[in-house]
């Protein structure tokens, strides 16, 4: 379908039905809104409008596109499949307009002061936009290709993960080339303080969606190559940053017009900025009459990052809690109570042990996903083993966006064990790694120490700051705990209140928080939270500070 649209556009161009306007034909007239008051906020949209928005009529279609954009209050729009409708839509909105070729274009409430386009004209257009605040945004609208239509009904049933990756590999290849070209184009020192937004139709999904956490939504986890290109380069996914709860139905941009096809998030707004952060985002898929495109529109609102947000990011509050799948000391499973307890921590990072995902004993709930939803935090899950129709393992909740997830296999003991590691992007763009563990529990520490040694070896090879939380199932003075004290700094508990187990009468200390490498952190004292009912462990809470 997308290939047909491309072919139609090229035929129309040959026939002279579509204008391939260069940069000097920017739409700008007296009514363009260039006198908007300076504000520390702006709104971005990306939208593939499908055949120029004319699928439902030459007249009504583009007008309906303009109506959707106006109602969204977007200030800057990355448009794909413009196909001759851009000038009319821009005129209807009184926006500046910058096309390139027939496909991609930019519409902007604010002046486009320079053409910074790179790569193939059909796939990429760039404009330097000046906001009322005086800040400049290097704004790119892109369209990426794909090798096979894996969104058609039943198209994925016989495909392996490698074959699915291959279907989207052209988008990863082109995006890598586009990103490099943008880096080269903006290498001059005059662009040093410019924020970069790269938005468009990526024709691939995201590794931030297809994860073990969301097996019940997406099935097989897939580490999509395309989304890694910009995420690994320090860009933020504006939609996922503002909407940490993964919801396939609500997130999908493909396709409002073809609900029988695979519903996926394939349109993205990525950005890299020292000043702005995405604070709100949505997918627009509906219209009172009929939605005019086969793609949903993604809208992201950006606000200036405050000094308070930067400072809080450098001093994260960290908690570790073995929640025993929400099964309290009163022998009742109550995940709402667990969420309420976690909410009271006001933590930025929480390591959770003993988490069920869709296991019968805990009511077939995706506990990792639900706790993230309840607290409005990003969440990640790693399983130890399949259990009662679901999975059993551990999770991490984070106030900060997740960039990468790693499952570190540990030597097997009385049960399989895994360490969960996630890279997080702090407000000031520092990357830290959060690691969560639950070591073997039996009195003989042979298995436990082997697991600790494997994790110690992994952490020793990292050169980035990390935070380690967990149920170590061992006590101060043991060789397991001393192993990590050699590598990182422990958040010390009060001598008179250090017990974490059992919750109703804590007598032993087996739950810990470490921060390393030691020279990169200031580690404040920790406390054991007085919570005797929610689980059989008590939570540990501390505040850290990056030096």
β-sheet bridge partners, residue 394: 353, 382
Q: Which helix (H) or strand (E) holds 484?
A: helix 479-485
Q: What is the distance between the alpha carbons of residues 364 and 392, in angstroms, rounded to a whole number?
A: 11
Determine contact, residues 359/391, Cβ cutoff 8 Å.
yes
Res. 463 pLDDT band, cuts 50 70 90: confident
β-sheet bridge partners, residue 387: 390
Q: Which helix (H) or strand (E) holds 543?
A: strand 540-546
**Is 449's pLDDT higher than 80?**
yes
Q: Which part of the chain has CATH 3.60.10.10?
A: 2-305, 310-546
Mean per-residue pLDDT, 395-411 = 97
Determine contact, residues 157/97, Cβ cutoff 8 Å.
no
Q: Which two tokens stand for residue 230?
A: 């910009």
Q: What is the distance between the alpha carbons of residues 83 and 5, in angstroms, rounded to a whole number?
A: 10
Q: CATH assignment of 2-305? A: 3.60.10.10
Cα dist. 532→114, 353, 418 in Å? 62, 17, 27
DSSP track, 52-106: GGTTT-TTHHHHHHHHHHHHHT-SEEEEES-TT-HHHHHHHHT-EEEEETTTEEE
User: Residues of the chain with pLDDT > 90: what percent?
Assistant: 90
DSSP state at residue 177: H
Mean pLDDT (the chain, rounded): 93
Cα dist. 232→56, 336, 434, 464 in Å? 40, 35, 17, 15
User: Residues of the chain with pLDDT > 70: what percent?
Assistant: 93
Q: What is the distance between the alpha carbons of residues 104 and 123, in angstroms, rounded to a whole number?
A: 6
Q: Which two tokens stand for residue 134?
A: 């005086």
Reduced DSSP (H G I as helix, E B as strand, rest coil) percent helix, strand, coil of the chain, to 5: 30, 30, 40
pLDDT in tens, 16-62: 333 333 343 444 433 344 444 456 899 999 999 999 999 999 999 99
DSSP state at residue 317: E
Q: What is the distance between the alpha carbons of residues 284 and 45, in angstroms, rounded to a whole number?
A: 10
Cβ burial of 31 (10 Å; 0-12, 13-18, 19+) is exposed
CA 200 to chain CA centroid, Å, is 16
Among 233, 231, 250, smallest CA distance to 241 is for 231
DSSP state at residue 30: T
DSSP state at residue 508: B
Cβ atoms within 10 Å, residue 54: 20
Dihedral pair phi/psi, residue 270, rounded to 5°: -105, 150
Q: Indicate if the alpha-carbon torsion angle 419, 425, 430, 431 is positive or negative.
A: positive
Q: What is the distance between the alpha carbons of residues 376 and 282, in angstroms, rounded to a whole number?
A: 15
Q: What is the distance between the alpha carbons of residues 329 and 503, in angstroms, rounded to a whole number?
A: 8
pLDDT in tens, 207-225: 999 999 999 999 999 999 9
Determine contact, residues 327/362, Cβ cutoff 8 Å.
yes
Q: β-pairing, 349-357 with 317-322?
A: parallel
The answer to which of 35-39, 252-256, 335-339, 474-478 has the lowest mean pLDDT is 35-39
Residue 21's pLDDT is 38
Q: What is the distance between the alpha carbons of residues 111 and 321, in angstroms, rounded to a whole number?
A: 51
Among 454, 49, 106, 81, smallest CA distance to 253 is for 49
Q: Which two tokens stand for residue 137?
A: 């945004």
Residue 486's pLDDT is 86
Which residues, at least 6 apart from 332, have a Cβ–Cβ distance to it below 8 Å?
none
**Is 13's pLDDT higher than 90?**
no
Res. 118 pLDDT band, cuts 50 70 90: very high
310-546 fold: Deoxyribonuclease I; Chain A (3.60.10)
DSSP track, 278-296: EEEEEEE---SS----SBP
**Is 266's pLDDT higher than 50?**
yes
pLDDT in tens, 185-195: 999 999 999 99
Residue 40's pLDDT is 87
Cβ burial of 368 (10 Å; 0-12, 13-18, 19+) is buried
Mean per-residue pLDDT, 353-362 = 97
């Amino acid at each position: 379908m997308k290939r047909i649209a491309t072919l139609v556009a090229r035929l129309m161009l040959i026939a002279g039905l579509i204008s391939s306007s260069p940069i000097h034909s920017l739409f700008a007239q007296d009514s363009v809104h260039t006198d908007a008051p300076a504000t520390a906020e702006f709104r971005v949209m990306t939208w593939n409008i499908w055949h120029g928005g004319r699928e439902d009529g030459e007249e009504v279609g583009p007008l309906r596109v303009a109506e959707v954009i106006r109602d969204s209050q977007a200030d800057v729009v990355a448009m794909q499949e413009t196909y001759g409708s851009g000038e009319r839509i821009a005129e209807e909105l009184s926006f500046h307009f910058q096309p390139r070729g027939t496909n991609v274009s930019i519409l902007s409430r604010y002046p486009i002061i320079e053409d910074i386009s790179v790569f193939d004209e059909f796939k990429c257009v760039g404009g330097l936009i000046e906001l009322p605040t005086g800040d400049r945004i290097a704004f790119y609208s892109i369209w990426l290709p794909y090798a096979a239509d894996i969104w058609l009904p039943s198209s994925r049933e016989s495909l392996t993960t490698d074959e699915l990756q291959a279907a989207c590999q052209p988008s990863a290849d082109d995006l890598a080339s586009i990103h490099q070209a943008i880096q080269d184009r903006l290498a001059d020192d005059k662009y040093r303080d410019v924020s970069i937004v790269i938005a468009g139709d990526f024709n691939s999904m995201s590794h931030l969606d297809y994860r073990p956490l969301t097996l019940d939504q997406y099935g097989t986890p897939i580490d999509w190559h395309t989304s890694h290109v910009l995420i690994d380069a320090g860009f933020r996914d504006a939609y996922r940053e503002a909407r940490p709860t993964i919801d396939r139905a609500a997130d999908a941009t493909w396709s409002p017009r073809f609900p029988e096809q695979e519903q996926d998030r394939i349109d993205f707004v990525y950005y890299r900025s020292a000043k702005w952060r995405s604070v709100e985002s949505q997918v627009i898929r509906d219209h009172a009459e009929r939605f005019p495109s086969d793609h949903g529109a993604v809208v992201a609102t950006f606000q200036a990052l405050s000094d308070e947000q930067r400072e809080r990011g450098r001093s994260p509050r960290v908690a570790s809690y073995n929640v025993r799948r929400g099964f309290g000391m009163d022998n009742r499973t109550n995940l709402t109570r667990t969420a309420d307890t976690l909410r009271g921590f006001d933590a930025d990072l929480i390591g959770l042990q003993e988490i069920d995902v869709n296991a019968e004993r805990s009511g077939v709930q995706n506990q990792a996903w639900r706790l993230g939803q309840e607290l409005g935090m990003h969440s990640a899950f790693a399983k130890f083993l399949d259990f009662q129709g679901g999975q059993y393992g551990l999770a991490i909740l984070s106030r900060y966006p997740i960039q990468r997830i790693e499952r570190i296999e540990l030597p097997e003991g009385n049960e399989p064990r895994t360490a969960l590691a996630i890279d997080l992007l702090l407000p000031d763009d520092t990357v830290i790694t959060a690691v969560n563990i639950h070591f073997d529990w039996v009195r003989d520490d042979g298995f436990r120490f082997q697991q600790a040694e494997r994790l110690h070896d992994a952490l020793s090879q990292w050169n980035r700051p990390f935070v380690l939380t967990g149920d170590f199932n061992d006590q101060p003075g043991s060789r397991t705990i001393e192993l990590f004290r050699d590598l990182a700094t422990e958040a010390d508990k009060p001598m008179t209140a250090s017990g974490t187990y059992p919750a109703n009468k804590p007598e032993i200390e087996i739950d810990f928080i470490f921060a390393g490498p030691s020279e990169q952190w200031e580690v404040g004292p920790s406390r054991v939270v007085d919570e005797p009912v929610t689980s059989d462990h008590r939570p540990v809470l501390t505040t850290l500070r990056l030096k």
